[in-house]
Structure formats: structure tokens, C-alpha cells
């Protein structure tokens, strides 16, 4: 059983969960063919990501002549299937803001993918995210390629299910994966009830071996870390507003913002406007080892997100023995337990974030360390990458018969 992973941009620093999943599957005996449309758009920090890049076949780098030849070869191989795939692509393009022209490119990519899978003996295609890579997987299957499945993370897919033809993708897939029960509930909204049994929950995984026994949490002024792409959905601007309130009572409080992205200029401007240059550090993207160091140095992870699936960094923080302050949205309440492993607050409420940090500051180090231990047990039990990869491999085996 050889599985092709069809991805848009791979690897990416913020998508290390895909790399862990791929490697866990291979370690358990499932060969993986890595196919991506584009190379990474952000600088790679982890050596494992550089290794993944070297093993990945990049479709768009083949050039227009190669994709054109793939389109013609699929036409000659199976004209009816080719026509069905083209019509399917044009229908999807009519719903999508990018339009039909972009979907013609997806169709050409699908032709190349179908040929590549045929030559490599691939029995099934899997994709991450229900966006363009899932479209390519669906079209490749329609024109005669292998069966396919895809993992939906959210929130992008939940924001525009009709434009993404999410229902059609799920209806044609051997199965569809959600990363939380909340995510599965959202998928149920966009596909006929008859397809519900093929909606699976497979959690994103962490490597327990990377998280040794955590250091106790030290007392003192609040030391916080927030990790993620600088984008509107992550809510960093709300966290900066909260920090302006926090430093009134805790002038030595410090926040490390780990990541980068399109909203960096606004975030830098907000830090300057609130006079928080001494209280907030922007680290940029860090390696996994350096992220774990940031977590070790922090008393808690803060995730002020407005929209999410279920953030990997919450799992990692809990595995590192750190309490979590997060918003009460999406799949987060399935993992973070208020009063036991952290705090949950309403999204878009800086005052509530500040109050949660006040509550954290009122806890002694022993209480915080106990919350961290409880979170660690919960994260390792629910998100062991080896267990989750084995569950996914079981679905692959059932799909390929």
C-alpha cells in the first residue's frame, strides 16, 4: 500500500504536523510519495523540513509543457473520465472566487498527479486541508486516478464550504478526516447524512519523545508565550490590548510572540502605540527545539484566536507541562479543561484575557505545575503521533480494500 500525499505548499514551518504524520506512517511501514504544488514560502528552520523538501516532487516546477503532455495523455487514456474531470473542475471553478481559469490549472495538476501515481504504484491519495490540494486529489480520482481522502483543519474550510465545493469533495472521497469532534460536526453540515459514517476524527499528533519530563514552573511576574502565524484569525492584536492592561498590575510581565506573517507591521505598530516594547518580544519563526525552550521558560501559553481548528501549539504546550490560556472556540474546549489544565475565555475579549493572566499570577508555582502535569497527561494520551498515524493507516487500508 503506497500513499501519495498531495499538498499545496510543503513543507512549511507552521505545518510540522504533516511532516510528523508522514514520518510516523513511514516508520510503521506505509510508503509515502510526497507531491506538492509549490516549494515552501517561508524560510525553513528545522533540519527535518529541509529533508522533506529534498524528498518532495514539485508539480508546478515541471513547467507548462510537462503539464500539457499530462493532460493529453489522460485524454487519450480515458476520454470519458477526462471529460467528467474537466466538467467537475469547471463546476467547482464557477463557485470559487478564483474562477474557472485557476481550476483549469488544478485540472492539469490533477492529470500530472494521476500519471505520477500510476507510475509509482500509488493505491490512495491523501491531502491536507480542504482547499486546492483536495480539489486536485478529487479531480485526479475522477479522471481515473486512485481513491482519495483529505484532512480538514479549519477555519478556512468552515468559512467558505460552498466556494470550496466541500460537499462534493466529501461525497467523492473514500473518507474525510476532521481533527476534532467540532470539526466533524461542521463537516456534517455540508454533506448528505448517508456520508456521515465516512467522516472520521484523527487528531494531529505530537512526538512524545520530544517532550521529556517538564521543568517545574517558576514563580514571579507572568511570563507568557504565544505561537502562531501573524494573521487576523490568530487574534494577536487582542492579546496586545490585554498586555496593556496586564502591565498595569504586573509591570514586569513579559510576552514572547513566536511566528511571523502578513500582520507583523500592525502588530509592531500596536506594541509601539501601547509602549510595550520592553514587555513583548517578537522572535520570528523558531525551530521546534527553540519553541520547546520558549515553552519551558514560560509560565503559560496564550492563544487569543478568533477562529481555529485545534492548534498544534496547544498540544505542544500541554505536553511541555505548561497551562494554557485560550479562547473558547472550535476544538479547543475538547483539549483544554478550565481549572484543570488552563483557562478558557471568550474570543475577542482583551479584558477576559487580562483577567485570566491575573488568575494565573494569583496561583502559586505548585498549583501551576500541577495544572501543567494534568495537561501533559491529557495531551500525550490524546495526541500521540504514532497512535494517530496508526488510526489513519487503518482508514487507508479500508479505503484500498
Of all residues in the chain, the percent with pLDDT exceeding 70 is 100
Residue 311 predicted with pLDDT over 90:
yes
Q: pLDDT tens digits for 112-122?
A: 999 999 999 99
- The 3 state secondary structure assigned to the chain is CCEEEEEEECCCHHHHHHHHHHHHHHHCCCCEEEEEEECCCCCCCCHHHHHHHHHCEECHHHHHHHHHHHHHHHHHHCHHHHHHHHHHHHHHHHHCCCHHHHHHHHHHHHHHHHHHHHHHCCCEEEEECCCHHHHHHHHHHHCCCCEEEEEECCCHHHHCCCCCCHHHHHHHCCEEEECCHHHHHHHHCCCCHHHHHHEEECCCCECHHHCCCCCCCCCCCCEEEEECCCCHHHCHHHHHHHHHHHHHHCCCCEEEEEECCCCHHHHHHHHHHCCCCCCEEEEECCCHHHHHHHHHHCCEEEECCCCCCCCHHHHHHHHCCCCEEEECCCCHHHCCCECCCEEEECCCCHHHHHHHHHHHHHCCHHHHHHHHHHHHHHHHHHCEHHHHHHHHHHHHHHHHC
Give 68's pLDDT tier (boundaries 50, 70, 90): very high
Mean pLDDT calculated for residue range 308-314: 95
Please answer whether residues 253 and 279 qualify as being in contact, where contact means their C-beta atoms are separated by less than 8 angstroms.
yes
CA distance 222 to 381: 28
Give 217's pLDDT tier (boundaries 50, 70, 90): very high
Residue 46 predicted with pLDDT over 90:
no
Domains of the chain in sequence order:
3-205+384-400 (3.40.50.2000), 209-382 (3.40.50.2000)
Residue 14 predicted with pLDDT over 90:
no
Give 288's pLDDT tier (boundaries 50, 70, 90): confident
pLDDT value of position 289: 86
Give 287's pLDDT tier (boundaries 50, 70, 90): confident
Mean pLDDT calculated for residue range 126-145: 98
pLDDT value of position 348: 96
pTM, 2 dp: 0.93
Chain centre distance of CA 316: 13
Give 336's pLDDT tier (boundaries 50, 70, 90): very high
Residue 2 predicted with pLDDT over 90:
yes
Average pLDDT of the chain is: 96
Write the CA distances from 123 to 90, 144, 166, 281, 392, integer angstroms.
26, 12, 23, 47, 15
Write the CA distances from 162 to 36, 76, 92, integer angstroms.
24, 32, 9
pLDDT value of position 34: 98
Q: pLDDT tens digits for 190-202?
A: 999 999 999 999 9
Q: pLDDT tens digits for 376-394?
A: 999 999 999 999 999 999 9
Q: pLDDT tens digits for 229-248?
A: 999 999 999 999 999 999 99
Residue 49 predicted with pLDDT over 90:
yes
Amino acid at each position: 500500500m503506497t500513499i501519495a500525499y498531495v499538498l499545496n505548499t510543503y513543507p512549511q514551518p507552521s505545518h510540522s504536523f504533516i511532516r510528523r504524520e508522514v514520518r510516523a506512517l513511514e516508520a510503521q511501514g506505509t510508503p509515502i510519495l510526497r507531491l506538492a504544488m509549490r516549494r515552501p514560502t517561508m524560510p525553513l528552520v528545522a533540519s527535518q523540513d529541509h529533508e522533506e523538501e529534498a524528498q518532495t516532487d514539485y508539480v508546478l516546477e515541471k513547467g507548462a509543457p510537462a503539464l500539457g503532455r499530462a493532460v493529453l495523455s489522460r485524454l487519450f487514456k480515458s476520454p470519458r473520465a477526462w471529460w467528467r474531470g474537466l466538467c467537475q473542475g469547471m463546476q467547482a471553478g464557477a463557485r470559487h472566487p478564483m474562477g474557472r481559469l485557476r481550476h483549469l490549472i488544478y485540472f492539469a495538476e490533477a492529470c500530472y498527479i494521476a500519471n505520477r501515481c500510476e507510475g509509482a504504484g500509488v493505491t490512495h491519495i491523501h491531502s491536507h486541508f480542504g482547499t486546492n490540494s483536495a480539489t486536485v486529489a478529487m479531480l485526479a480520482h475522477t479522471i481515473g486516478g486512485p481513491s482519495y481522502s483529505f484532512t480538514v483543519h479549519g477555519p478556512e474550510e468552515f468559512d467558505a464550504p460552498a466556494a470550496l465545493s466541500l460537499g462534493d469533495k466529501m461525497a467523492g472521497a473514500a473518507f474525510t478526516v476532521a481533527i476534532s469532534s467540532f470539526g466533524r460536526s461542521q463537516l456534517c453540515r455540508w454533506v448528505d447524512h448517508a456520508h456521515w459514517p465516512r467522516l472520521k476524527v484523527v487528531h494531529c499528533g505530537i512526538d512524545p519523545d520530544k517532550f521529556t519530563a517538564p521543568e517545574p514552573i517558576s514563580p514571579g511576574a507572568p511570563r507568557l508565550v504565544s505561537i502562531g502565524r501573524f494573521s487576523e484569525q490568530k487574534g494577536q492584536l487582542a492579546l496586545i490590548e490585554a498586555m496593556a492592561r496586564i502591565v498595569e498590575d504586573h509591570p514586569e510581565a513579559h510576552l514572547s510572540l513566536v511566528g511571523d506573517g502578513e500582520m507583523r507591521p500592525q502588530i509592531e505598530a500596536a506594541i509601539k502605540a501601547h509602549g510595550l516594547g520592553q514587555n513583548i518580544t517578537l522572535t520570528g519563526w523558531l525551530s521546534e527545539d527553540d519553541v520547546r525552550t520558549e515553552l519551558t521558560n514560560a509560565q503559560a501559553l496564550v492563544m487569543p484566536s478568533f477562529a481555529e481548528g485545534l492548534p498544534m501549539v496547544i498540544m505542544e504546550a500541554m505536553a511541555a507541562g505548561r497551562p494554557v490560556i485560550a479562547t473558547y472556540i472550535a476544538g479547543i474546549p475538547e483539549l483544554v479543561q478550565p481549572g484543570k489544565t488552563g483557562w478558557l475565555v471568550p474570543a475577542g475579549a482583551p479584558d477576559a484575557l487580562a483577567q485570566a493572566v491575573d488568575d494565573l499570577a494569583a496561583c502559586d508555582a505548585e498549583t501551576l505545575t500541577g495544572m501543567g502535569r494534568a495537561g501533559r497527561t491529557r495531551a500525550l494520551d490524546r495526541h500521540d503521533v504514532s497512535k494517530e498515524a496508526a488510526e489513519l493507516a487503518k482508514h487507508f487500508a479500508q479505503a484500498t480494500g
